[in-house]
Amino acid sequence: MEILVVDDQVAVVNGIERGIQWEKIGILKVWKTYNAIDAKAIIQNKNIDILLCDIEMPEESGLSLCRWIKQNGYEVECLLLTAHADFVFAREAVSLGVFDYILQPARYEEIQDILLKAVNRIKERRKAKNFSDLGKKVYSKKQIILEDIIKKWVREETIGSDEVIRELRTFDYSVAEENMVCCSLIQILEWKDMNKKLDKTLFGFVTGNIVQELLDDFPVSVICTCLDRDIFSCMIIGDKGVMPQILDMKRQLARYIDVIFQLYSCKTVCFLDGIVEFECAAEKINNLDEIRLVNEKRESNVYCIYDHEWMRNTNTKNTETFEDEQDAYVEEVIRYIQCNIEQPLCRADIAGVVNLNEDYLSRLFKHKKGVSLKEFIINEKMTVAKKLLQTTKLPIGVIAAKVGYDNFSHFSSTYRKIMGIAPIEERN
């Protein structure tokens, strides 16, 4: 790997160059310069993996250089050096995805340890990418064949379920006539970032893997294939005694909508039907597609899941089902809070995510959890902050930014109120 060290102080750059055992941490080439302009030229012409840069430099700051790297799509892990624990700097560094923020003076051993973490992160990312690329090549042909089999069964009706089972077994799917299937349709609504758009075969492969991982606690197989341009069938197959409950699958498909959007900026909607015997799955999938086309839910066991909105067309709703759905909403809210802890969360935004009225959401959350939504958010943020204070050397300003506070004084007073001591006392 190659690193670029940037600081307007020549002595600092030379000291880092001599003080770090580069080969020991897997860095074979050290580039150095003393301003952001020359740094950009080096990044454009060399294969830089890591940037170690001072924040406060004449003409152009280290933060500006990191912003340029991000805007131009360079895969460079950025580490910032500064002699001042400035909260504004820390906040912007977090927003730019900077790997770490090192407060000077720091021992060379400490800098070396942080650099090693960055090296390991790059290795893991590249390993995952190589595995993904290999997987795409290996499974692309398999996915095309699966698409052809399912389309002949569901759309063209030229083969029966017995032949489908035989074909699936050739791909090591443990499928039998007595298996049960939960049928769902996934429709692509929009690609928010066309640079991340997947072709239909790869999208089916990726979706199948995501849903399989989300249902990892259950011994089921997931097969997702393209039926039409933007319509995909997703079959969850398992034995009668081990199939997830419909509510479990509804929750996981709601999570899938989140994951596919986070990874690929793809907005989707899912239609979910009940659990049927394998031989009835093709009919169920076609029925779901009819419902999708007329945009209405004709059957009581059909769910439409769209951006956290769970709708069910029923003439009667028993108390148990209603309670389950309320619990599911609350769980989704908690998961959203925990996944977005660095954001300045507010009731209106969360209500929008789960498509509920703000006042109703507040009452529901207080009823289910015994604390107000606002109190829960603050407690979650302070819990994360406490862990960071106890287990990292990050400046307190950076920690405040990582839990969504843009005002250091507000963070400190809130922490003292919840935890009983000031952040600096927690660290000491």
Is 0.75 topped by the overall pTM?
no
Q: Which of 75-89, 123-137, 145-159, 290-304 has the lowest mean pLDDT?
A: 290-304
Q: For position 286, what pLDDT does the model report?
A: 87
* In the chain, % of residues over pLDDT 70: 85
* In the chain, % of residues over pLDDT 90: 40
Kindly state the helix (H) or strand (E) to which residue 54 belongs, with its residue range: strand 50-54
Model confidence over 210-227: pLDDT tens digits? Answer: 999 888 888 889 999 998
Question: Are 238 and 183 within 8 A, CB to CB?
Answer: no
Domains of the chain plus CATH, in order, are 2-106 (3.40.50.2300), 143-315 (3.30.70), 335-427 (1.10.10.60)
Model confidence over 130-189: pLDDT tens digits? Answer: 655 555 555 567 778 888 999 999 888 889 999 999 989 888 888 887 889 999 999 998
- Looking at every residue in the chain, the average pLDDT score rounds to 84
Q: Which amino acid is at 121?
A: R
Query: How far is CA 299 from each of CA 29, 281, 284, 288, rounded to the nearest angstrom?
Result: 65, 16, 11, 10
Q: Please, which pLDDT band fits residue 22 given cuts at 50, 70 and 90?
A: very high
Residue that the structure tokens 């809130």 belong to: 414
Chain mean position to CA 61: 30
The answer to whether residue 385 scores a pLDDT higher than 60 is yes
209: Cα within 13 Å, side-chain hemisphere = 12
Give the per-residue SS3 of 394-406. Answer: CCHHHHHHHCCCC
Question: Are 285 and 279 within 8 A, CB to CB?
Answer: no
- CA dist 52 and 78 (Å) reads 6
The answer to whether residue 304 scores a pLDDT higher than 60 is yes
Q: Which of 152-161, 243-252, 312-321, 389-398 has the lowest mean pLDDT?
A: 312-321
The answer to whether residue 313 scores a pLDDT higher than 60 is no
The whole-number average pLDDT for the span 247-251 is 81
Kindly state the helix (H) or strand (E) to which residue 17 belongs, with its residue range: helix 10-19
DSSP 8-state code for residue 262:
H
β-bridge pairing 180-191 and 266-277: antiparallel
Angle, helices 161-170/108-151, rounded to nearest 10 degrees: 150
